[in-house]
Structure 1
Amino acid sequence: MNTFNERFKIAFDKSGLSQHDLAKAVNVSQPAIRKLVAGESKSFRKISELAQALKVNLEWLSSGNGNSGLDDQQFQLIGTVKNGAVKVKGEAVMGANGAFEMDESLNGYLKFYSDDPSAFGLRVKGDSMFPRINSGEFVVIEPKIIPKSGDEVFVRLKDGRNMIKKLEYHRDSEYRFTSINQDHPPITISDELVDKVMYVAAIVKSSRFIDVHDI
């Protein structure tokens, strides 16, 4: 029988909710949901509210017994893409120190709901952020969410470089970022060199991608 965290991941991946949406629905902090998604929490205090938000059976989520209730949850494509689905804008081809080059030839959608109309997805290519992000997985970026310390972020510098980092702090006209892959050291960057810092809402499996040519 799979674990609570494995059942949660199945339900969360199929729900189409962002971590922000789920935290709001359950009335908990987003870090609490982030720990569940990352596998750092093996139980959850508000499991009834969690089951309701994920639209799964409470008994299945809490103990693994019974039917999950997921069988009827289908992502409907009726001549178009469901409202709120995340547009994929390309691939992030990873290089050294968490920096990457953008390849915008990939075109499609993720079966993942976001209420941020400007949200977009990028497919990660390369292993520099393993095991947190595997090559072939997608990151969902929500520009309208203001990132906080500890959040994973998409960073675009004014010289054109792009990075995915963890925000440590922003103060005294500079940013401090730590690397998702702990083999790389933290970096400090002046405000004047930074173009954008955008919130990374989720990491999504490749199975959730819909190629635009298949629609």
Structure 2
Amino acid sequence: MQKCITQQENLTRDNTMIFDLDILNRNIKHLMDESGIISVTELSKRVNLQQSTLHRLLTGEVKDPKYTTLKYLADYFQVSPVDLIERDLRSVQSSNLIQIEGDLHSFALQKVPVLGNTQLGHGGYWSDMQYPVGNGDGFLRWPSSDHDVYALKCVGDSMMPRIKEGEFVIVEPNQNFHPGDEVLVVTNNGEVMVKTFLFKRDGFFHLLPVNEDHAPIRIAVQDVTKMQYVAGIAKSSLWYP
């Protein structure tokens, strides 16, 4: 019977990688630049690999690095090990296909700008810094098909345990939302909150607090200036200047 060969087995021999070292080094340096990582020391801390190992890899001293080393790097930069060693990522946008309701959609890692800080929940407000389009207080790497995607840094503990101090809410303003989806809600007086959208009826939005121990609320449609789809919550480690 013919042996089934996995992707890792196809790329490795005795737990080492066989590839063009120049492509790997160019890709790592490119990804470091994109992520604002300026030194091997900083990269080793973020990836949790020994600085000496990375230095030997980037200088070409190591000709056959272990698969596990490449996997650590690929996972941190959110690319596949195959792309890391075979494709010139300077000219290729990392992308994938996902199936949504039977249709294939592409998504790509985006530089998501952080547009401000917010203390979510009752009495919380969005401190909008009014950054130019495409800019912000640093960036996050996040897979999205929405080119207007942005993030807000959360301060305070009013959304614990769902959202912790220092984490980021990722918002896709062009994405439709449905009952059961989390949404960012901004009211006329500037109050900002994340709620679960239930339905719209008789001129009111009916919403469920993220903490389901609390009762549902309703807000008049005319009192809402913004309601946008929340794509996820990002850890602070994904932020870079």
What TM-score results when the alignment is normalised by the length of structure 1?
0.58
C-alpha distance after superposition, 1:96-150 (max 9, x if no partner): 53x4212245701002132211110011111111111111111100001111111
Letter in 2 for 1:126: G
C-alpha distance after superposition, 1:173-211 (max 9, x if no partner): 210011112354321112111112100001000000012
C-alpha change, 1:68 and 1:143, in structure 2 (3 Å) is farther
Q: CA deviation at 1:69?
A: 6.9
Match in the other structure for 2:12:
none
Match in the other structure for 2:116:
90
Taking every aligned residue pair, what percent have the same amino acid on both sides? 34
Q: Does the CA-based 8 Å contact 1:89-1:107 persist in structure 2?
A: yes
C-alpha distance after superposition, 1:12-67 (max 9, x if no partner): xxxxxxxxxxxxxxxxxxxxxxxxxxxxxxxxxxxxxxxxxxxxxxxxxxxxxx95
Q: CA deviation at 1:159?
A: 2.5
Match in the other structure for 1:17:
none
Counterparts of 1:68 and 1:149, CA distance in 2? 43
Which segments of 5 or more consecutive residues in structure 1 lack a partner in the other structure? 1-65
Structure whose alpha-carbon radius of gyration is higher: 2
Counterparts of 2:70 and 2:154, CA distance in 1? 31
Aligned counterpart in structure 1 of residue 207 of structure 2, from 177, 187, 191: 177
Match in the other structure for 1:39:
none
Which segments of 5 or more consecutive residues in structure 2 lack a partner in the other structure? 1-66, 80-88, 95-108, 130-135
Match in the other structure for 2:187:
157
Matched, 1:146 2:176: yes
What TM-score results when the alignment is normalised by the length of structure 2?
0.52
Letter in 2 for 1:200: V
Counterparts of 1:181 and 1:126, CA distance in 2? 16
Counterparts of 1:166 and 1:181, CA distance in 2? 10
Aligned counterpart in structure 2 of residue 124 of structure 1, from 154, 161, 169: 154
Match in the other structure for 1:34:
none
C-alpha distance after superposition, 1:69-119 (max 9, x if no partner): 7324153998xxx9722111011124x53x421224570100213221111
Match in the other structure for 1:25:
none
Moved more, 160-169 or 136-145: 160-169
3-state SS, counterpart of residue 154 of structure 1: strand
Matched, 1:70 2:100: no
Q: Does the CA-based 8 Å contact 1:86-1:114 persist in structure 2?
A: no
Match in the other structure for 2:54:
none
Match in the other structure for 1:136:
166
